[in-house]
Structure 1
Amino acid sequence: MATGKQIDTDILSDEIFDTLCSMCKNKGKNTEGEKYCVDCKDYFCITCVQVHDQVPLCAGHKVLDKSQVKSGTSKTLPRAPTERCDRHSHKHIDMYCQNHDNVGCSTCMAVDHRLCKDTFYIPEFIQNNTCQLASREIQIRLKEIAKTLAKHADRFKQDKQRLLKRKAEILADIRKFRQEINDHLDKLEKSSIDEIEDKVKCLEDKIEAGLKQLQANKSRITSANDKLAYTNTNKAEVFVHVKMAENAANVANMYIEDAKIKNTVEDIDFQPDRTILTQLEQMKALGTLSEKPAKASINLFQIKGHQLYNVKDKSDTTNCHITSACCMEDGTIILADYNNNKLKRLHSDNYTVTDCCDLPGRPHQVCMINNTQVAVTVPHRNEVHFISLSGKMKTTNKIKTDFGCRGLAYANNNLYISDG
């Protein structure tokens, strides 16, 4: 039960009535309120404020002493913000530092703005200051910032996609380079094998030749021995066999002595080139990886729109073939019509033909000299014509060249002409 000070209802004024405890008043009792809840916009007596604080929905409400509330302003005081502080989650953001134009909870103000002179309770500041809450403007600004952030997010996504694509390309390059190394090693291996095969073939041929000589000598020795072993009474025949045997023995002995000197039994060996392994051992990778700024995709020009315009003049004898265009400072456009041998002036608003200037040949390039004059090349006649734009277009001068002048540009009081 509320035990606050009871007030006689007969003497209540409107101001005093507004400061009664709201909970007691709902029970038909007129108890003076000692506390004021900014969020509930109600007064509470000492007992009822304790009940108020125990209600979960009222946790965190800002409760002030009656003396802290200005007279006559309690009922019109705006509701306190309910946004929680990021740093002090048990506190509401209900304070404003005018010096730094920043908001925070009471703890933030005590810690970060204790030296600031102009700190205010937000409901009171709003009530006592005529401030424009430009929520619409800040919403527009936030939307623009959100769009910008979205563009940056898209850029990050594109950067990631480009990075992954580049990764795949580099991995493919590494595999390609590895394959090139493999191919080269295969060639070195084949070259070494071919060299061994050639060497062995040469030695084999040499051995085979030696074997043939050996077999030939062996056959002669065997034949001579067989003939000597055969009993023959013909002394002349025996004499011939003896001499042939002596000759076969001499040839065989020469073969044996020669074989000892030449040492026909040869061997082969292979010594690998260790410099290859040494270089590979010194390498940490197949190449070097470096970072470099990505090439920015910048569109210097963007087409905002396009439309077809009819630039045919009633005096034209064939279809228009525009080879060059020149835009004057006032927006007027000068066209070089190759097929109809003329320059055409277009209106800056609707791009209709307002004037034409006939030329003695087919024009190629037109450029501005000043606000009232242009120059145009006529390649087939080796001429550059100067056209006045004051009034009706007309030729005022010309330059004769010894080449088929085509390109034309004017800068810093110099006329530049290029040939074909």
Structure 2
Amino acid sequence: MASRGSSIYKGSDLIHEYSCSKCEENDLNTEAQHFCPECEHYLCDKCVGIHGDYFKKHVVYGRDDIQKWAEFSMDRCAQHGKELEVHCDDHQELCCCVCVALNHRLCSSISHLPDLARGFHCTSEFKQLPAAVEKMRIRLDELKNDRLKEQASLNDSYKNSIAEIKALRKEINQILDKLEKRTVENLESIMEDLEKSIKDDLATFTRMHDQLGAMIEQFKQFTDKNKESSSYIGFTKCQSKLSEANSLVREIRGKKGMKFKCDESGLLFLRNLNSFGNVESVRKTDSYHVFKAQSSSLYKVKKKKDKQNCSIEGIFELPSGKVVIADYNNDKVKLLNKQFEVIGYCHLPAPQHLCHITDNDIAVAVSEFNTNEVHLLTVTKGKIKAMRKFTTDHLCCTIAHHQGQLYVGSNNALYLYTMDGSLIKTIYEDNTSMHTVYKCVVSPDGERIFVTHFTASRLLTLDTSGQVLSTVEDPDLQSPSGLCVSPSGHVFVCGFESNALVQVDQEGRKVSTVARLADGVLYPRSVWFKEQNSTLIVGNLGDNIHVVKLC
């Protein structure tokens, strides 16, 4: 075998993985140790020196970078660097002479490339290749840009998760503060009772001590004067007072102090926790899953005492599975069980919209005449109870909650409030017509706010600063009313006059029309998506809610 870099005549059967291009011109067969991508030449140790004298600025790759050698030549074998000469029909591969010698000796059909290529450049397949490649390059650029956005979004998701963890910690601290306050208040109440008991006992001791002293003095006087009857009376009364004093002493000795006993169940629960929650990697593509109506059912939500036809302006599901609806016409917030039967209600004047806060707590937007309020309610033992409320200087027509803050819409503007009713800022405003901010929801990550423009039949997607990111207009979104967003980002919008339910993605782009009039959708006002069983609960302008099973 020839030593490395040695030259022999080309006619030799010795096959190199890569042969020196310059040596081949002189009918020599020399193994290449270098590659120049600009010249597209493979070079042996001798020829690379000559090449370097002529082309000092050319970058030459050695054997350490052999993976880069075949990347620069279209008509050379990617594995061996030789010129591609034939096509193996059995394996559907382009081959060089080395490929044939090593891997395709036993193949039954090998075609010469010039024969296969004759006239191919005139075919439509050949002519369409540049356009197909350009289309793919554009798609790759789009995916690249999407990935870059996802990279930025990933950092935002991390920051949002940190914020949620800190918010959870803050909420836990508040709960612990309340528990501590209640425990201390209980302790102080017991302390106050015990201190009063001690003060009463001290007063009783003093009185009893003084009475015994006075009685024994009189008893001595009777004894000194030999008054038998008086002495007997004194003796009897002293004995009675002594008996009373003995009873008091025994009673006092039986009294106890205070001792705090910890509720071990709370400590055990906290000790068994590994973290505040689970961190999951969520695929964005999940939010683009396309749903279609499969079947539907109607459930009556009008009660005998309701004087008007129902108008369900808001709807959502509690963690327990119960459903809460806002019946505008009948001035009620109603509670439904899992079978969608009305099991309780709370009177509120003209509830315009409602949203879920945490656990069993609800926020309701109320506007009627000069009354503009946000009511905070809670569900306890199947009953809806009022907690507190605050007033605003504007209409309250829609409401949404995210991480301890309330988004309140006034028909023409969207405001951000704290839970105690302090105005933080105005997010968005549009006074070009009526109902420009009709209903709103906030995406799970808090980065997007979806707003229906009822008059112009548009769905707007805003960022947290109020900038319009996208606008959707669609024949199935005529007079869009209620909308909802699920924890995984599925967004559904009611087309009130088009009698349709439309699904959009997290960027506010239409995905599909989920249900139409043919599926039983009639003047939808509000909607909620039950993610566990892929079901839409639709509030209509009527006495029934419409439950649509999706597939």
TM-score range, shorter chain: 0.3 to 0.5
| Higher RCO structure (Cα 8 Å, ≥6 apart) | 2
Q: TM-score under structure 2 normalisation?
A: 0.35
Highest Rg: 1 or 2?
1
More strand by percentage: 2
TM-score, with normalisation over the residues of structure 1?
A: 0.44
Larger helix proportion, structure 1 or 2? Answer: 1
